[in-house]
Structure 1
Amino acid sequence: MFIEAIKHRAINPYIYARDKETINIMLETKKGDVETVELIFADPYDFKGDQWQYKTEQMIKTGSTHLTDYWKISIKPTYRRLRYGFQCMDNQKEKVIVTERGFYKTIPSEIGNYFCLPYLHEIDIFQAPDWVKDTVWYQIFPERFANGDSSLNPEGTLPWGSEEPSPTNFFGGDFQGVMDHLDYLVDLGINGIYFTPIFKAYSNHKYDTIDYFEIDPQFGDKETFRKLVKECHKRGIKVMLDAVFNHSGYYFQPFQDVLKNQNHSRYKDWFHIWEFPVKADGYPNYDAFGFVASMPKLDTAHPQVKEYLLDVARFWIEEFDIDGWRLDVANEVDHAFWRDFRKVVKDAKPEAYILGEIWHDSMPWLQGDQFDAVMNYPFTNSSVEFFATQQMDSQTFADSITDVLHMYPQNVNEAAFNLLDSHDTARILTMAEGNKDQIKLLYLFQLSFIGSPCIYYGDEIGITGGGDPGCRKCMEWNESKQDRELFHFIQKLIKMRQEVSAFGNCAEFRFLTVDEDVVVYQKQVEEAELIFVLNNSDQTKIIEIEGLTNRKAIELFSNQEVVVEETTVTMEAYGYKCFQLHH
């Protein structure tokens, strides 16, 4: 047995509270090396004489990659405390006992050897708002969604869609434009809107804030925004705003004061300035977003900066009843700030959603004391590279998605923000070189996966565009120029997600078969079971599927009752099927 590949620590995601009475525990072993794993566990104080009264229970293999087998178990400790270890057995019947102090041949009697869960405190449990699990998001870049009030147009506004987007042009998108099209979003099945920044800023993207308490005049005023939130809520749509707390814009008043008064400015400690005089052109002599001189980094540990930004967080919830914050460049802001941010936000609205923009492993922010979710880029990258750009083979794809699911606790996965593209990336149809069949498979995977999916405005009707600024085109409102077939396909997937229990968020997910360009996966919740078959190639494929033979099923896309007699299923090029199995 390869004991050096056995991995567990008494920390997230290897052990965590699923709820106030359930503990989830995970162990990693080398792929194919271990036949069975049993959990050895009991209360740390449960002794008869000097004998610890441990029990054993079988763990389940929940996923495999080409390197690793993942084993999981859920248990309900009687007194919320636990000491535990693992008994691994290979097919030669060799046994290894895994403890915090190392590996043993027999179960040690000394309780100090074992892993420890001292006490399950309800206050420490990771809890994201429940509503997020059933939300399908729609990301709106307000400047480019719809121009509903031309009296607000900034100087030099171009006719809608008359030119390609550039880093500096304006088309006059605004809040009225969003309100005019809310029923379109309801028709699609959307129940959450994520707005990129709406606060007063210089640029068309608004990530260079001038005033965090003011709406940008090109979008409308506070009254219009208040009305927009109410109109959304009336239709069951949640509203999430984008907060840029890592850095301000060049025209942010405190930064202007620093430029004017230099080291005599009362705001000089609001920023990370290396030397005076401050020079804000070319390569900055202060910390900035990247090395962008017009986006100076804020010192979020400074008491006044912190107070100002936390007031912002509270203000927009209390005044306008927004439902969540998406936090730009969240990983470059200190953890102490985010812990206080969470307290302020949850005090103002306990059910508010806190979403951090982090592109890498985000476990430090997802312990329950900071964010409810992060933008799930590990999911995004793998899905896009397999389905859209086809740079990734099916085994690597299945491995990476299996790793993503085991990288975080289950309750974290259920609230994760699963996007495919955004204002920061090329659009998926462009990445797929216009191949709509690949994009349909990508949406099918996204909308049948665990987490909270997000659609970037216009993708549902086939808008194209390369990286920024190409991905920021004006929304196409002329129906004859929209891809209505793609719209209806996505609409159908969202409906399935809402109506078929195992299709949606809270079902167990695992890959059953991975073949060349083909993935087969199972979604299961209690008695309901779905098997998805996706053929991501331009060839017909015949696929072996365990677990389908002699089973009655309904194929959800054709709505036909089938009895699968063979162990194989024939799939046409870019074909997809979803079998709902009868139990």
Structure 2
Amino acid sequence: MLKEAIYHRPKNNYAYAYNSSTLHIRLRTKKDDVDAVKVIFGDPYTWEKDIWQYSKSLMLKEGSDDLFDYWLIEVEPEFRRLRYGFELTDGKETLFYTERGFYKDVPKHTGYYFCFPFLNGIDVFTAPDWVKDTVWYQIFPERFGNGDASNDPSGVLPWGSEAPQPTSQFGGDLQGVIDHLDHLSDLGINGIYFTPIFTATSNHKYDTVDYFHIDPQFGDEKVLKQLINECHKRGIKIMLDAVFNHCGYYFEPFQDVLKKGKDSKYWDWFHIKDWPIQTDPKPNYDTFAFTPFMPKFNTENQEVKEYLLKVGTYWVEEFDIDGWRLDVANEVDHSFWRSFRSEVKRIKPDLYILGEIWHDSMPWLQGDQFDAVMNYRFTTAALDFIAKDKIDKQDFKDEVMNVLSSYPHSVNEVAFNLLGSHDTPRVLTECGGHKEKLKLLYALQMTFPGSPCVYYGDEIGMEGDNDPGCRACMVWEKDKQDLDLMHGLKKLINLRHRNTTLGSNGRVVFEDSPNKHVLRYKKVGSREQFLVVLNVSDQSAVEKVPEGYDVWNDKVLAEQHLSLQPWEFCILKLK
């Protein structure tokens, strides 16, 4: 056994409370190096005749990536505390792994073992249950629908009259969203994520000028309340976008600094390096990237902290929003996010807190800050495999298992799984216009643990390169929409809603296939199992499968041989 590859650490993603009575314990070993792992566990205070009383249980190999195998077990400690270690066998030798290292024999004293001191209920990671069953729809408000021409900004262009430019204005607003809620309900959407709607100078509104008012070109607070009420009647949750890392150049406190310099009472609200302030060639104050029009907040300043926390609670208290998406969340200090969670959850305990983080996010996902992050690692793996043919099936499986093993199951169940957004090229463009590839991507997305999100217009086949190309006006003319694509996505969403094992209530178990380009995985729930088979190829394929009910084609599959056409998929409910 390669001891150097064997890894465990209590807490985080290797030993955590899944709920108020259950612990999940993980172990990592070198790939294909260990035949079996058992966990040795018991209460640290249970002794008989000076002998510690423990049990042994076999761990499940939950998956592998290119380097490691990952083992998992659920344990319910009788007294909510645990000492534990591992027994590893490779067919040649047996080793015992504890907090103090490796042994040939079982250590007799509990002091040698890993410790989970006590399962305190307040420490359990708890994200809102409703998120597991939510299918999101991301709306860039300026480009979804112009429902009220009276609030159009100056220089507005006729809807969809030309390709978008960085400063284009087409008049999209909140009334335009209200006017098209039937479209979302019909699709099966039960959550809307809005990019920023607060007063700002740009069309994207990530340069906030006033955090307490709706941008006039989108409407006003009355229209927002109407929109939220209409959505809630339909069972649709609302998530707003908050930019707390930075503000806009014309944010009043920053303007005060520009006028008064160090005499401004807001001088310490920002990270200013020198006076006078300059913007070229690079700003002499911290910003988002090097963008002078987005000065970075000093969230360690108590006044800034109180101001932004008031913003966070105001829109929950006054408008009953259901979630906050937090922009550039990884550049804001952890202390601020802990306070933010405490304040907004105090008002609405089941509020969803989603951070924009593109890399490993475990430091933010320990129950004291965010409920989830935008799962761009899933996005990249899915696009590289299906849309771009940049990685093969094994690379995809390795990456996905690495992602799933990087977080507790409770985190994966509410991960924000997207295929595209306002920050990326449109997914059909990523597919090179290949619609059948996009159908496979939707099949994958809608049968994966987490909370899937559809970017506006992707469901009808809109295309566009990166910003600003991905921010074109929504196409509402039926004869210009790909209704076949939309109906297919609608069917997948409906299947997910009706069969929760296809979503977050099912564990992913990859299977082997003799066909190089056929991806197979089971979704394993507590009472049922599904088999998802995707032919990621322009060649037909035949797969041997168990008997089951083909929920995609609505028929019994009695034969053991499943024929798949190029770029076809099947979803079987197994007997």
TM-score, structure 1 normalization = 0.97
What residue in structure 1 maps to residue 254 of structure 2? Answer: 255
1:555 and 2:550 equivalent? yes
Taking the aligned partners of 1:284 and 1:65, their CA distance within structure 2 comes to 43
SS in 2 for 1:578: strand
1:305 and 2:304 equivalent? yes
What residue in structure 2 maps to residue 338 of structure 1? Answer: 337
Taking the aligned partners of 1:149 and 1:313, their CA distance within structure 2 comes to 28
Tell me how large the CA RMSD over aligned residues is: 1.0
Cα deviation for residue 2 of structure 1 reads 1.3
Cα deviation for residue 393 of structure 1 reads 0.9
Taking the aligned partners of 1:25 and 1:186, their CA distance within structure 2 comes to 40
Cα deviation for residue 452 of structure 1 reads 0.3
Taking the aligned partners of 1:197 and 1:526, their CA distance within structure 2 comes to 39
SS in 2 for 1:318: helix
SS in 2 for 1:239: strand
What residue in structure 2 maps to residue 397 of structure 1? Answer: 396
What residue in structure 2 maps to residue 215 of structure 1? Answer: 214
| Conservation of the 8 A alpha-carbon contact between 1:555 and 1:578 | yes
Cα deviation for residue 497 of structure 1 reads 0.1
1:121-132 pair list within 5 angstroms: 121-132=120-131
Taking the aligned partners of 1:101 and 1:352, their CA distance within structure 2 comes to 41
Cα deviation for residue 552 of structure 1 reads 2.5
| Conservation of the 8 A alpha-carbon contact between 1:387 and 1:536 | yes
Taking the aligned partners of 1:398 and 1:353, their CA distance within structure 2 comes to 29
What residue in structure 2 maps to residue 142 of structure 1? Answer: 141
What residue in structure 2 maps to residue 579 of structure 1? Answer: 572
Taking the aligned partners of 2:292 and 2:526, their CA distance within structure 1 comes to 55
SS in 1 for 2:34: coil
Cα deviation for residue 456 of structure 1 reads 0.2
Give the aligned residue type for 2:566: A
1:15-30 pair list within 5 angstroms: 15-30=15-30
Taking the aligned partners of 2:572 and 2:221, their CA distance within structure 1 comes to 49
What residue in structure 2 maps to residue 40 of structure 1? Answer: 40
Q: Deviations over 1:98-123 (max 9, x none)?
A: 10100001101122110000000000
Taking the aligned partners of 2:552 and 2:365, their CA distance within structure 1 comes to 36
What residue in structure 1 maps to residue 379 of structure 2? Answer: 380
Structure 2 stretches of 5 or more lacking a match?
Answer: none
| Conservation of the 8 A alpha-carbon contact between 2:496 and 2:503 | yes
Cα deviation for residue 30 of structure 1 reads 1.2
Taking the aligned partners of 2:222 and 2:96, their CA distance within structure 1 comes to 65
SS in 2 for 1:299: coil
TM-score, structure 2 normalization = 0.99
What residue in structure 1 maps to residue 49 of structure 2? Answer: 49
Taking the aligned partners of 2:486 and 2:366, their CA distance within structure 1 comes to 37
SS in 1 for 2:487: helix
Q: Deviations over 1:197-237 (max 9, x none)?
A: 00000000000000100110000011111111111111110
Give the aligned residue type for 1:556: V
| Conservation of the 8 A alpha-carbon contact between 1:501 and 1:528 | no
SS in 1 for 2:189: coil
Taking the aligned partners of 2:65 and 2:131, their CA distance within structure 1 comes to 29
| Conservation of the 8 A alpha-carbon contact between 1:31 and 1:66 | yes
Q: Percent of pairs identical after alignment? A: 56
Q: Deviations over 1:307-331 (max 9, x none)?
A: 1100000110111111110000000
Give the aligned residue type for 1:299: N
1:187 and 2:182 equivalent? no
SS in 2 for 1:331: helix
What residue in structure 2 maps to residue 425 of structure 1? Answer: 424
| Conservation of the 8 A alpha-carbon contact between 1:139 and 1:422 | yes
Taking the aligned partners of 2:264 and 2:500, their CA distance within structure 1 comes to 59
Give the aligned residue type for 1:340: S
1:405-444 pair list within 5 angstroms: 405-444=404-443
Give the aligned residue type for 2:463: T
SS in 2 for 1:533: strand
Taking the aligned partners of 1:436 and 1:258, their CA distance within structure 2 comes to 52
Q: Deviations over 1:374-427 (max 9, x none)?
A: 001111110111111121111000110111111100000001111111000000
**Matched residue pairs, number?**
574
Give the aligned residue type for 2:432: E
| Conservation of the 8 A alpha-carbon contact between 1:282 and 1:293 | no
Taking the aligned partners of 1:392 and 1:53, their CA distance within structure 2 comes to 49
SS in 2 for 1:200: strand
Taking the aligned partners of 2:552 and 2:235, their CA distance within structure 1 comes to 27
1:142-291 pair list within 5 angstroms: 142-291=141-290
Taking the aligned partners of 2:96 and 2:342, their CA distance within structure 1 comes to 42
Structure 1 stretches of 5 or more lacking a match?
Answer: none
Cα deviation for residue 68 of structure 1 reads 1.3
SS in 1 for 2:39: strand
Cα deviation for residue 12 of structure 1 reads 1.2
SS in 2 for 1:511: strand
Taking the aligned partners of 1:323 and 1:580, their CA distance within structure 2 comes to 33
1:565 and 2:564 equivalent? no
| Conservation of the 8 A alpha-carbon contact between 2:549 and 2:555 | yes
1:479-558 pair list within 5 angstroms: 479-513=478-512, 515-543=515-543, 545=544, 548=545, 551-558=546-553
Q: Deviations over 1:264-317 (max 9, x none)?
A: 111110000001111134410010000100000000110110011000001101
Q: Deviations over 1:53-72 (max 9, x none)?
A: 01101111111223211110
Give the aligned residue type for 1:563: A
What residue in structure 2 maps to residue 360 of structure 1? Answer: 359
Taking the aligned partners of 2:486 and 2:42, their CA distance within structure 1 comes to 53
Q: Which range is displaced more, 287-296 or 275-284? A: 275-284
> Runs ≥4 in structure 1, deviation > 6 angstroms?
none
Cα deviation for residue 262 of structure 1 reads 0.9
Taking the aligned partners of 1:181 and 1:282, their CA distance within structure 2 comes to 45
